[in-house]
Amino acid sequence: MVDSTQNPPILILHELDQRSRQHAHALPQQIEVKTTRDGIGLRLGEVTLVVPMEQVKEILTSVTVSRIPGAREWVRGVANVRGNLLPILDLNGFIFGETSRITRHSRVLVMQHKGVAAGLMVSEVLGMRHFLEDEFSNDISQMNTTLQPLLNGVFRQSGEAWGVFDIHKLVDLPEFMQVAA
């Protein structure tokens, strides 16, 4: 039996509290949560861009394209994608006037906006990219002037500029809808 006169219960509890505090681990500190923006990174020639995720329906690795007589050079043709005819457009050819060379890295971004569905051929898809909000800038003056009307800003990450390419602005261009030569 414990003699409560030598160690009153309050002292025992106080001693237990002291020992618990000495051996306790610190609570995790709240880390600052930063907002990110996600997109699909791509290369168009030597230019790196990012497209908002919601503007791309899917990414195709290879498609068999049938040429369309009388179409502009940047119109690669049409492809049968799961039973649907999809126009395949060379994005580099449309924007810069240089037909892309198809390589094993070439990809087709499938997009749909305002009833227009198309496959946009790009040099390479660089995967999903994550950018912090403070890496974003509206200053696109350093970006290629031909691209500027199609950009919604730029992310600067690790010394590299990623233009935020807006597919909706592309579809809204009247010349994008004029595919006949």
pLDDT higher than 50, residue 114:
yes
Instruction: Provide the token pair at 151.
Output: 């950009």
Express each pLDDT in 121-142 by its tens digit. Answer: 999 999 999 999 999 999 999 9
pLDDT higher than 50, residue 64:
yes
Express each pLDDT in 78-93 by its tens digit. Answer: 999 999 899 999 999 9
Q: Answer whether 113's CB lies under 8 Å from 136's CB.
A: no
How much of the chain, in percent, has pLDDT values that exceed 70?
96
One-letter amino acid of 12: I
Confidence of residue 1 (pLDDT cuts 50, 70, 90): very low
pLDDT higher than 60, residue 3:
no
pTM: 0.78
Express each pLDDT in 166-181 by its tens digit. Answer: 999 999 999 998 888 8
- Between 143 and 25, whose confidence is greater? 143
User: What are the chain's domains?
Assistant: 36-176 (2.40.50.180)
Average of per-residue pLDDT values in the chain:
90
Q: Answer whether 87's CB lies under 8 Å from 179's CB.
A: yes
